[in-house]
């Protein structure tokens, strides 16, 4: 019962921002569940619309068949046909009245509001920013968990309940989004996947010419001139008049000729040859340089016995400078006992007070009983739902010496300890990792993690640096309580050893 009440409180916490303004849907599974119901309602409405339109088309069809016979007779002998005064009158009537009625019938919305309903609902639909954010999340998951494009496209992920796959058109769209971000590494991966699926016979609206156009440019930008030329030749086989491809091929041939000429000269130094002939490669995904070659999306994902990707915490912790989502969670002004949000946090959250709910009050009491720390000076219970690829990059919960005013507005000192609840099971990914000590904790509903952020002396414990790995498959709900120094003087007194 308590659990149901807590979920009720959580639902209320997330309904308010959703109803007031557009939300970044991709940052929260909780927000996206509303879209599922919206889409279901629209499908029902669409089916009604189809039935009504089929009935309308049947009427139009009968009208067309009748006029087909009539005009066939009339055009054989127009003057003789119009010599009958009834035919002349009916022709005037049809063109003046009946064709107008037919026009109104064709334009009429027979479903009593599907189109107007669609117009109203569209204002609550995801926008381009949401689609881009979801695409970036997929690319982030691909890198973090070492997934090759075929594995991700075929939907072969651990722990999935509802298997889904990406079409060639979907892969093309992912490649285009990467391209707009000047991320030519992922552009190449996903354009190649789209091309592969088309070569395998997939029927799609995606055009090989467009795919090859993007792909050849992405490959060229990464410095592989030979491959760029081969792809451009393939493009020209499909469309010999392609203006850009013809221009690119001439340029590539010019560069290649210069390269051969330079190689013939024994007097030029190797360094000079590189400056004259090398097509400069700009890496738009700098964090890739930190990963071993076999961890750059070139091999299939591995899984452990629990269905969790076999990727070590060290890999995730290295990706501190990864691509950020299009936007971050929107926050209202923070009242007392609420701390500033971190911009590295890619999931929206809500704050729940003990006085607002007896369930939250009991949770606070249990935390106090279990930790022995006073919760009266703690921040309110924070609840978060992680969306597609949702993660929290490596960080400290406590305010460091270069952040003396981190919690000044609270007036309760630094964060002495953290209590983290896992409120849902996660099928794959989503672990909490502590890179400094090599520890990782996998989410399991009903469990919690507790640690001290400060030594008894008040100095920060830098081994508590932690992060939340991206959720690969599933839905991650967590809640946490940050406890502060004030009120703990007799509950956790200083010791004789400064760093004990």
3-state SS, one letter per residue, for 268-280: CCHHHHHHHHCCC
pLDDT surpassing 80 at residue 455 = yes
How wide is the angle at C-alpha 127 spanned by C-alphas 123 and 131, nearest 5°? Answer: 150
- Residue 14 has what pLDDT? 36
Q: What is the CA radius of gyration of the chain?
A: 32
pLDDT value for 399? 93
Of 282, 286, 225, 291, nearest in space to 256 by CA: 225
The pLDDT score that the predictor gives to residue 449 is 96
Look at residue 476 and give its three-state secondary structure. strand
Question: pLDDT tens digits for 223-265?
Answer: 999 999 999 999 999 999 999 999 999 999 999 888 888 877 7
Q: Residue 101's pLDDT band (boundaries 50, 70, 90)?
A: confident
* Per-residue pLDDT at 171: 94
DSSP secondary structure letters along 89-133: HHHHHIIIIIHHHHHHHHHS-TTSSHHHHHHHHHTTS--HHHHHH
CA distances from residue 110 to 40, 107, 197, 439 in whole angstroms, order as listed: 20, 9, 40, 62
Phi/psi of residue 479, each to 5°? Answer: -140, 150
Name the phi and psi angles at 84, rounded to 5: -85, 120
The predicted-structure confidence for 304-348, as pLDDT tens digits, reads as follows 333 332 332 222 222 223 332 222 222 232 223 333 333 344 555
For residue 345, what are the contacts with CB-CB under 8 A and spacing of at least 6?
328, 329, 384, 392
Task: Please indicate whether residue 23 or residue 377 has the higher confidence score (pLDDT).
Answer: 377
6-54 pLDDT, tens digit per residue, is 443 333 333 333 333 455 655 677 777 778 888 888 888 888 888 888 8
Query: Rounded CA gap, 90 and 69, in Å?
Result: 15
Q: What pLDDT shows up at residue 130?
A: 83
The larger pLDDT score, comparing residue 76 to residue 293, is at 76
User: Residue 40, CB half-sphere, CA atoms under 13 Å: how many?
Assistant: 6
Q: Is the pLDDT of residue 465 over 90?
A: yes
Mean pLDDT of 458-470: 93
Confidence of residue 493 (pLDDT cuts 50, 70, 90): confident
In whole angstroms, give the CA distance from residue 2 to residue 248. 66
More confident residue, 250 or 90: 250
> By C-alpha distance, which of 454, 463, 444, 441 is closest to 483?
454
**What phi and psi values does residue 218 have, to the nearest 5 degrees?**
-65, -40
- Report the distance separating Cα 489 and Cα 487, nearest Å: 6
């Amino acid at each position: 019962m308590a659990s149901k009440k807590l979920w009720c409180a959580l639902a209320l916490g997330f309904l308010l921002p959703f109803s007031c303004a557009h939300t970044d849907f991709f940052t929260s599974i909780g927000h996206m569940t509303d879209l599922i119901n919206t889409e279901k309602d629209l499908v029902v409405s669409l089916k009604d619309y189809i039935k009504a339109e089929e009935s309308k088309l049947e009427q139009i069809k009968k009208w067309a068949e009748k006029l087909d016979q009539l005009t066939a007779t009339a055009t054989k002998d127009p003057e003789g046909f119009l010599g009958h005064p009834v035919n002349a009158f009916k022709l005037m009537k049809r063109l003046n009245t009946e064709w107008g009625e037919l026009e109104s019938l064709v334009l009429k919305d027979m479903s009593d509001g599907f189109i107007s309903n669609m117009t109203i609902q569209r204002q609550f639909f995801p926008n381009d920013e949401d689609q881009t954010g979801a695409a970036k999340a997929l690319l982030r998951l691909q890198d973090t968990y070492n997934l090759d494009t075929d594995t991700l496209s075929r939907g072969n992920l651990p722990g999935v309940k509802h298997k889904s796959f990406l079409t060639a058109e979907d892969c093309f769209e992912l490649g285009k989004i990467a391209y707009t971000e000047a991320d030519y590494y992922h552009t190449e991966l996903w354009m190649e996947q789209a091309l592969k699926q088309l070569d395998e016979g997939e029927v799609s609206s995606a055009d090989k010419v467009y795919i090859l156009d993007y792909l050849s440019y992405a490959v060229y930008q990464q410095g592989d001139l030979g491959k760029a030329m081969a792809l451009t030749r393939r493009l020209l086989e499909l469309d010999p008049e392609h203006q850009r491809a013809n221009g690119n091929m001439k340029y590539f041939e010019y560069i290649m000729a210069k390269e051969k000429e330079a190689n013939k000269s024994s007097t030029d130094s190797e360094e000079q040859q590189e400056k004259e002939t090398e097509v400069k490669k700009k890496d738009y995904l700098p964090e890739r340089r930190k990963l071993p070659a076999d961890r750059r999306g070139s091999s299939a994902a591995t899984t452990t016995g629990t269905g969790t990707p076999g990727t070590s915490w060290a890999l995730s912790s290295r990706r501190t400078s990864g691509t950020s989502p299009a936007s971050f969670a929107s926050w209202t002004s923070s009242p007392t006992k609420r701390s500033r949000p971190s911009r590295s946090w890619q999931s929206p959250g809500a704050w729940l007070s003990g006085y607002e709910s007896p369930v939250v009050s009991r949770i606070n009491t249990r935390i106090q009983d279990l930790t022995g720390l006073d919760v009266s000076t703690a921040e309110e219970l924070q609840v978060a739902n992680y969306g597609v690829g949702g993660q929290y990059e490596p960080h400290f919960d406590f305010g460091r010496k270069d952040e003396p005013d981190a919690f000044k507005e609270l007036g309760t000192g630094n964060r002495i300890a953290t209590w983290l609840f896992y409120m849902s099971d996660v099928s794959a990914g989503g672990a909490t990792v502590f890179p400094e000590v090599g520890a990782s904790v996998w989410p399991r509903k009903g469990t919690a993690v507790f640690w001290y952020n400060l030594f008894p002396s008040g100095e920060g414990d830098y081994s508590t640096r932690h992060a939340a790995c991206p959720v690969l498959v599933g839905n991650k709900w967590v809640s946490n309580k940050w406890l502060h120094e004030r009120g703990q003087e007799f509950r956790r007194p200083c010791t004789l050893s400064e760093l004990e």
